[in-house]
Amino acid sequence: MLDTTGVTDIIVQTGNVLNLNDIVKKPGQKSTDELLECLKLALTNCKKSTVDNKLEITSLEPVYTHGLDTNELLISVKLFVDFGDAQILEDAINKCLKYLGTKCINSLVLSYKPKVDDVDLSEVWNVLERFVLENKICRIGIADLDPDQFIAFYERMQVKPKIVQISLSSCCVVPPALQEFAKLHEIQLLTHNDPQEILPEEKLKEIIADVEPKKVWITRFQAHYKCRGVLATKGYIVGISL
């Protein structure tokens, strides 16, 4: 059992899950199942350190193949979050930059599913905008807004979303209005099959027992070789505030 006495935050970093046979053998599994498997494996083969009441658990599986030049990669991240605490969000992105050993993430897509009493999307977006203005993220995008919401959001933001993701579970065909708007403004239009909630609390408690998470964020990272388009690494970082 994981000892969380006196701990206020837990960070779990999974390393490159492409090298884990238990994950690779299940290529068709759902995002939640993949994430849970990654967390289980990371917790059983890891190093731990605690600084300022923050417990960091890092898989012994490295993020990259030894000697790989990160300048040869295109790094993309999806950030799943249901709260708008700016400081925690900044820490999450900085943690991702540090763990991936890069000064700049090529693209980051935000999946923001707020609780009823949380902040407006634009306030969360402002956090991402600052990273773009500081040249730490090249392009930012948003997931799961309907066409009217996305267009209105696009028009009022200082740093415009360059990517829009829509869920395959919500529509089988991309709405023509969104297709037209994306083409006109050179926005990359993508689909995804991530669930509404990628890490339900009851599932998290099955892996890390006796915790009462107040806030949870997840980043899923991927890096492709620029010239070949081959996936070099994939994994997760999960942050839990207790």
Mean predicted lDDT score pLDDT of the chain: 91
How far, CA to CA in Å, does 157 sit from each of 58, 126, 129?
36, 9, 9
Residues above pLDDT 90, as percent of the chain: 71
Interior angle at CA 78, CA 46 and CA 18, nearest 5:
45
Calculate what percentage of the chain has a pLDDT beyond 70: 95
Q: What is the pLDDT of residue 189?
A: 94
Tokens representing 131 are 């990273």
The residues with which 77 forms a beta bridge, in sequence order, are 108, 221
The pLDDT value recorded for residue 23 is 64
- φ/ψ of residue 198, rounded to 5: -75, -25
Cα dihedral 127, 128, 130, 135, rounded to 10, equals 160
Residue 176's CB is within 10 A of a number of other CB atoms, namely 9
Q: Which residues, other chains included, contact 77 with Cβ-Cβ below 8 Å and sequence gap of 6+?
A: 96, 105, 107, 108, 109, 219, 220, 221, 222
- Each residue of 149-191: pLDDT tens digit? 999 999 999 999 999 999 887 666 788 899 999 999 999 999 9
- Of 1-5, 47-51, 222-226, the range with the lowest mean pLDDT is 1-5
* Top-ranked range on mean pLDDT: pick from 27-41, 61-75, 123-137: 123-137
| Residue 59 pLDDT level (bands cut at 50, 70, 90) | very high
CA distance readout (Å), 116 to 157, 203, 238? 22, 22, 22
Would you place residue 2 in the very low, low, confident or very high pLDDT band (cuts 50, 70, 90)?
Answer: confident
The pLDDT tens digits for 100-150 are 999 999 999 999 998 777 788 999 999 999 999 999 999 999 999 999 999
Rounded Cα distance, 55 and 52, in Å: 8
- Does pLDDT of 96 surpass 90? yes
Q: How far is Cα 208 from Cα 49, in angstroms, rounded to an integer?
A: 16
In this prediction, residue 24 has a pLDDT band, given cuts at 50, 70 and 90, of low
**Six token digits for residue 3:** 């000892």
Q: Which two tokens mark 112? A: 């923001």
Q: Which residue has the tokens 């980043």?
A: 219
> Residue 229 and residue 185: Cα distance in Å, rounded?
25
The stretch 211-232 carries a mean pLDDT of 92
Give Cα separations from 60 to 17, 41, 79, 105, 208 (angstroms). Answer: 11, 10, 23, 23, 18
Name the helix (H) or strand (E) containing 75. strand 73-81
At 27 the pLDDT is 60
User: Which pTM does this prediction carry?
Assistant: 0.94
Give residue 4's pLDDT. 82
Cα 20 to Cα 61: distance, rounded to the nearest angstrom? 8
For residue 219, which of 124, 114, 79, 40 has the smallest C-alpha distance? Answer: 79
CB neighbours of residue 102 within 10 Å: 17
What pLDDT score does 115 carry?
79
